[in-house]
């Protein structure tokens, strides 16, 4: 059962995001809306500029902590907005739970369409993973990039993460999931028409069924354990549900949870929302368990 706060928060998101974005795609408005969110970055951790593989980004960790598990986190934002700074509520939450996080500032569309963002993520991951075992995380567009990155890393013989956590990832640019219709009016953040208009700006002429664009259509065999959290009312619900089904069929260990009521990437609101803390705690435990298993192996 969803909390009362989940209902209130979903209403707030609809009013402040979906209603503000409207039904016509406006990149400038989307950037102002997403990047002007008022979530507070967690205290007690350090946010420091840095780079990995020549890609700028941000290190997030507790002061003096040089021993915690390592997490490579890819921010969301529809491939066109946001940055490591906007996602401090997410990276800071993991840092407070003991992780040493690096979030790359990958290039954004439409100025830099596919595969620019993926190439940046892969370059940063190659350097980051060379320093030792690590996990990958990502939300929304960042979840898409995390999956595409793992497919490329596997095929190129690069290190794979110990595990991956994916919050409401976009996995199907064709938009064939039933939730695109079922949740078209219920999704608190996105109108399906906005998502359909956004897709060509990222694709830049690429095939939407390319597995590095739509990981749902890729060969998922050999991927590390995956955790997927998504909202039952999201347009992107079935992007997670169907990916989990295909990954399990390919022999991948998958933990999938569909949360009622909550809006897209509700984990941002962990200071207010119990479902956000539940999700982050479960993701942290999942990563810690698989990091420990990897070390023992």
Active site residues: 140, 234, 264
Instruction: Copy the structure tokens of residue 224.
Output: 């590390």
> Rounded distance, CA 261 to CA 242, Å?
20
Q: CB–CB of 177/239 below 8 Å?
A: yes
Q: CB–CB of 108/80 below 8 Å?
A: yes
Tell me how far apart the terminal alpha carbons of the chain are, to the nearest angstrom.
38
Q: Cβ atoms within 10 A of the Cβ of 3, count? A: 15
Helix (H, G, I), strand (E, B) or coil at 24: coil
The phi, psi pair for 246, rounded to 5°, reads -70, -35
Tokens 């064709």 label which residue? 174
Instruction: Copy the structure tokens of residue 130.
Output: 């060379």
List C-alpha distances in Å: 239 to 27, 206, 228. 23, 19, 10
> Rounded distance, CA 227 to CA 215, Å?
15
Give the closest residue to 73 by CA, choosing from 143, 137, 118. 137
């Amino acid at each position: 059962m969803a909390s009362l706060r989940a209902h209130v928060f979903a209403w707030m998101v609809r009013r402040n995001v979906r209603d503000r974005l409207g039904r016509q795609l406006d990149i400038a408005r989307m950037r102002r809306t997403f990047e002007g969110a008022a979530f507070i970055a967690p205290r007690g951790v350090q946010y420091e500029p840095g780079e990995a593989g020549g890609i700028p980004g941000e290190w997030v960790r507790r002061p003096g902590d040089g021993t915690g598990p390592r997490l490579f986190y890819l921010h969301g934002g529809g491939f066109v907005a946001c940055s490591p700074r906007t996602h401090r509520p997410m990276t800071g939450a993991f840092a407070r739970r003991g992780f040493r996080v690096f979030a790359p500032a990958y290039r954004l569309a439409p100025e830099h369409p596919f595969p620019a963002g993926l190439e940046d993520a892969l370059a940063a991951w190659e350097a980051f993973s060379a320093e030792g075992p690590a996990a990958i995380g990502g939300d929304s567009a960042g979840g898409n990039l995390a999956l595409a990155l793992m497919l490329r890393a596997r095929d190129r013989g690069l290190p794979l993460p110990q595990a991956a956590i994916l919050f409401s990832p976009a996995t199907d640019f064709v938009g064939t999931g039933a939730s695109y219709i079922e949740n078209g009016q219920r999704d608190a953040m996105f109108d399906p028409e906005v998502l359909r208009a956004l897709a060509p700006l990222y694709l830049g002429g690429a095939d939407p069924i390319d597995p590095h664009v739509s990981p749902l259509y890729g060969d998922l065999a050999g991927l590390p354990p995956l955790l997927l959290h998504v909202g039952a009312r999201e347009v992107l619900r079935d992007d997670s549900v169907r990916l989990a089904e295909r990954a399990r069929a390919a022999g991948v260990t998958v933990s999938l949870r569909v949360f009622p009521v909550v809006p897209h990437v509700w984990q941002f609101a962990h200071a207010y929302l119990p479902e956000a803390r539940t999700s982050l705690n479960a993701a942290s435990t999942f990563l810690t368990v698989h990091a420990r298993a990897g070390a023992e192996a």
